[in-house]
Amino acid sequence: SAVISQKPSRDICQRGTSLTIQCQVDSQVTMMFWYRQQPGQSLTLIATANQGSEATYESGFVIDKFPISRPNLTFSTLTVSNMSPEDSSIYLCSVATGADDQPQHFGDGTRLSIL
């Protein structure tokens, strides 16, 4: 399976600031995704990062709050903008490999705390 690296692994940020999270894969992949895992909860899909076009966002998530870039087939960024304490979560990148672009594999995530 692909090796997925996320940076930073954790951060503590001030309210109102923004943070950009990077996801690097060691091979070209078609599909990359961003998830949020709130404390003690399961994973929720934020958006699909599309190479060469705008990301596809899930209900409840908007581009102004979570802008995403996908400049090539091995890299994507997620920015969490104008952060509030409610944004304190783990943010995870996943990639789809194999036939039919399945299954998905995950990075170790970025643990974000907002003060």
Partner 1 sequence: QKEVEQDPGPLSVPEGAIVSLNCTYSNSAFQYFMWYRQYSRKGPELLMYTYSSGNKEDGRFTAQVDKSSKYISLFIRDSQPSDSATYLCAMINDYKLSFGAGTTVTVRA
Instruction: Based on the shown chain and the rule CB under 8 A, indicate whether residue 54 belongs to the binding site for partner 1.
Output: no
C-alpha dist (Å) from residue 104 to 23, 24, 86, 92, 99:
14, 15, 27, 12, 11
Binding region for partner 1 (CB under 8 A) out of 19-27, 62-70, 76-84, 101-109: 101-109
Q: Which of 61, 79, 73 is nearest to 22 (CA)?
A: 79
The least CB distance from residue 106 to partner 1, in Å, is 4
Question: Which residues neighbour 101 within 8 Å (Cβ) at sequence distance 6 or greater?
Answer: 30, 31
Is residue 92 involved in binding partner 1 (CB under 8 A)?
Answer: yes
The site for partner 1, by CB under 8 A, has a size of 24
Q: Among residues 63, 103, 113, 115, which is the contact residue for partner 1, using CB under 8 A?
A: 103
Comparing CA positions, the residue from 58, 64, 57, 69 lying closest to residue 82 is: 64
Question: Residue 66 interacts with partner 1 (CB under 8 A)?
Answer: no
Task: Identify the residue among 31, 50, 61, 74 touching partner 1 (CB under 8 A).
Answer: 31
d(CA 41, CA 62): 21
Interface residue with partner 1 among 11, 45, 50, 74 (CB under 8 A) is 45
Integer distance in angstroms from the first to the last C-alpha of the chain?
Answer: 36
Q: Which of 42, 59, 60, 86 is in the footprint of partner 1 by CB under 8 A?
A: 42
